[in-house]
Amino acid sequence: AAAAAAIEVAHLSKVYKTARAVDGISFTVPRGSVTGLLGGNGAGKTTTIAMIMGLVLPSAGRIRVLGCGMPEQRADVLGRINFESPYVDMPSRLTVRQNLTVFGKLYAVPDLAGRIAELAADLDLTEFLDRASGKLSAGQKTRVALAKALINRPELLLLDEPTASLDPDTADWIRSHLESYRKQRGASILLASHNMLEVERMCDRVVIMKRGRIEDDDTPSAIMARYNRATLEDVFL
């Protein structure tokens, strides 16, 4: 249904042998929103995103993506979503063009050569297209990762700390690019971050995770008003 949320997660858990990584969380990513998933190291953000993508099997709970149950109907929505995670590396010996071609073919992107040229122009990558991906700087690699994530013009984008370890100017550039993509495409974004300022700037809503659970779920301004700096830092311990 068109009115369905971009993502609905209910009572979702992931238990590993040694850790309860995600412990019964429920939240919604409204259509067209940028929803932040905020939390410190080990809070469970990456595991949550991996379950939403269908890369990690939940121990319990339900996930609906663009109105479809997962993983039963995954094939119906996979072409309409994409993700970017630091844990999924691109082969570093392939050129940027080769890497983007592999991912574009996965999604059966029409006029793939044209789409790659368009993304390269948008993301300032034209001069690097025939360079080995592993030889690029951190900022250039992030732009390639973003090109990969946008190659199929996804209506739902899952981003796992897209600006971590970037210098402030590059991080800002990436945020602006994501914001203009969102507006142009009318896309929904789930953005995992441990940067409160980034979340405040980009997100309509924030879900705070701590030790596998949801600590809070509100607008960024309400979150900022409710927590003083000390308690907010406590969230990340």
Query: Does 88 engage in binding with ligand ATP (CB under 6 A)?
Result: no
One-letter amino acid identity for 191? L
**Token pair of 136 as six digits:** 């690029």
Cβ proximity to ligand ATP: between 46 and 133 the closer is 46
Query: Does 65 engage in binding with ligand ATP (CB under 6 A)?
Result: no
**Token pair of 83 as six digits:** 């993700």
- Residue 134 DSSP symbol: G
Sole binder of ligand ATP in the list 35, 46, 140, 142 (CB under 6 A): 46
Q: How far is the CB of 198 from ligand ATP (least distance, A)?
A: 14
Cβ proximity to ligand ATP: between 131 and 194 the closer is 194
Residue whose structure tokens are 């700037």: 201
Q: How far is the CB of 21 from ligand ATP (least distance, A)?
A: 3
Question: Cα(137)–Cα(145) distance, rounded to whole angstroms?
Answer: 12
Cβ proximity to ligand ATP: between 47 and 152 the closer is 47
Cβ proximity to ligand ATP: between 96 and 207 the closer is 207
Question: Cα(207)–Cα(199) distance, rounded to whole angstroms?
Answer: 10
Among 57, 107, 118, 112, CA closest to 81: 107
Question: Cα(167)–Cα(94) distance, rounded to whole angstroms?
Answer: 25
Query: Does 47 engage in binding with ligand ATP (CB under 6 A)?
Result: yes
Instruction: Residue count of the chain, please give it.
Output: 237
Q: How far is the CB of 161 from ligand ATP (least distance, A)?
A: 7
**Token pair of 111 as six digits:** 């006029």
Phi/psi of residue 166, each to 5°?
-105, 155
Question: Cα(192)–Cα(84) distance, rounded to whole angstroms?
Answer: 10
Q: How far is the CB of 52 from ligand ATP (least distance, A)?
A: 12
Cβ proximity to ligand ATP: between 46 and 152 the closer is 46
Q: How far is the CB of 23 from ligand ATP (least distance, A)?
A: 10
Q: How far is the CB of 48 from ligand ATP (least distance, A)?
A: 7
Cβ proximity to ligand ATP: between 47 and 188 the closer is 47
Cβ proximity to ligand ATP: between 31 and 45 the closer is 45
Q: Is 25 exposed, middle or buried (0-12, 13-18, 19+ CB in 10 A)?
A: buried
Question: Cα(64)–Cα(9) distance, rounded to whole angstroms?
Answer: 7
Q: One symbol per residue from 5 to 44: x for binding ligand ATP (CB under 6 A), - otherwise; what is it? A: -----------x-xx-x-----------------x-xxxx
Beta bridge partners of 210: 213
Q: One symbol per residue from 143 to 162: x for binding ligand ATP (CB under 6 A), - otherwise; what is it? A: --------------------
Q: List residues binding ligand ATP (CB under 6 A).
A: 16, 18-19, 21, 39, 41-47
